[in-house]
Amino acid sequence: MGAFDTLLRPGILAAARSDRMKQMSQRWAATERVVRRFVAGETLDDVLAAMRRELDDGLSVTVDHLGEDTTDEARAEAAVAAYVTLLEAMPTLGDRPPGSLEVSLKLTALGLRLPEHGSKIAEENARTITAAARRVGALVTVDAEDHTTVDERLAIVRSLRRDFPDVGTVLQAYLRRTEDDCAEFAASGARIRLCKGAYAEPPSVAYPDRRLVDESYLRCLRILMKGDGYPMVASHDPTMIEAASVLADEFDRAPDGWEHQMLYGIRTDEQRRLARSGARVRVYIPYGTEWYGYFVRRLAERPANVGFFLRALAG
């Protein structure tokens, strides 16, 4: 592990939880320019324009209305309303191939951490959004947050899938438990997005170094590709991208039986190259005013991003 991983990354991720840092950085005009590299904008019009661009280039999209860790029921309701408004606006994007429109939800934005009945409220809110998605032919995937939320999230996803079998979720290869979760969800035919994991986690639950995370990712990917579900390979890492094609061939998966996923603003040329080669590629597009936590996690993933950010502040 390099100095960035051991010394800087934990501090940057801790800043993701700091209200003071959040307030300070949201006041800097310079931050906005850098944030724009990773976030489509703050308004519905901004995200619809970004979606249209990606769709017109032959990519699929999944949209995240930014927000997390809500402890206020009214804010959770506002998040639901924002998703429903977004979904109801999707038909203005015109006829698109089936499955190309999706939203990604964070259960802590929908109330999971509310002091009372958080799990029940988050599930009801997710259900309202999923029903709205079904009305416009869009899919839903429930994002993964830190490890303390995994059991409740997977229980909610199992429950939602009884009524909406195509609701997907995310499994994080850095968690030691994830191979077992992959086996369960692959056997039940679920749509599963496999990512490495973006939160600061203790070694008791997560692999402490990148090599072990990468090995776990490859084991999990094999389970998903071999299983009965729909694997969504969320990684910008060339090794994982290549392994996905090799495993898809090994298990005779058709090109429409799995997909690549990448984040808005990261390796955009590679996204288009893969799409032109005939692979399915979905871009994760975040938008909204609550960009701070998302943005800090992107800084923590890559030393070069911190430099890019500091140069923008200086200029």
| Beta carbon of residue 136, minimum distance to ligand FAD (angstroms, whole number) | 21
| Beta carbon of residue 158, minimum distance to ligand FAD (angstroms, whole number) | 17
Helix axes 292-301 and 29-38, enclosed angle (nearest 10): 70
Kindly tell me which of 73 and 312 has the beta carbon lying closer to ligand FAD: 312
User: Pick the catalytic residue: 96, 113, 127, 143?
Assistant: 143
| Beta carbon of residue 177, minimum distance to ligand FAD (angstroms, whole number) | 14
| Beta carbon of residue 293, minimum distance to ligand FAD (angstroms, whole number) | 11
How far apart, in whole angstroms, are the C-alpha atoms of residue 89 and residue 87?
A: 5
Kindly tell me which of 73 and 179 has the beta carbon lying closer to ligand FAD: 179
Tokens of residue 301, six digits: 């993933």
| Beta carbon of residue 8, minimum distance to ligand FAD (angstroms, whole number) | 14
Kindly tell me which of 86 and 263 has the beta carbon lying closer to ligand FAD: 263
Question: Is residue 143 annotated as part of the catalytic site, yes or no?
Answer: yes
Residue owning tokens 């690549």: 260
Let me know: does 167 contact 155? Beta carbons within 8 Å. Answer: no
How far apart, in whole angstroms, are the C-alpha atoms of residue 103 and residue 87?
A: 8
Identify the burial level of 61 via C-beta atoms within 10 angstroms of its C-beta, where 0-12 means exposed, 13-18 middle and 19 or more buried. buried
Q: From the CB of residue 92, how many other CB atoms can be counted at a distance below 10 Å?
A: 9
Kindly tell me which of 121 and 234 has the beta carbon lying closer to ligand FAD: 234
Backbone angles phi, psi at 285, to 5 degrees: -110, 110
Q: Which residues bind to ligand FAD, rule: CB under 6 A?
A: 143-144, 170, 172, 193, 195-199, 234-237, 240, 261-263, 266-267, 284, 298, 301-302, 305
User: Pick the catalytic residue: 193, 222, 280, 282?
Assistant: 193
Question: Is residue 191 annotated as part of the catalytic site, yes or no?
Answer: no
Let me know: does 194 contact 220? Beta carbons within 8 Å. Answer: yes
How far apart, in whole angstroms, are the C-alpha atoms of residue 35 and residue 33?
A: 6
Residue nearest to ligand FAD (CB): 236
Kindly tell me which of 73 and 270 has the beta carbon lying closer to ligand FAD: 270
Let me know: does 147 contact 193? Beta carbons within 8 Å. Answer: no
Let me know: does 152 contact 113? Beta carbons within 8 Å. Answer: no
Residues that are catalytic: 143, 193
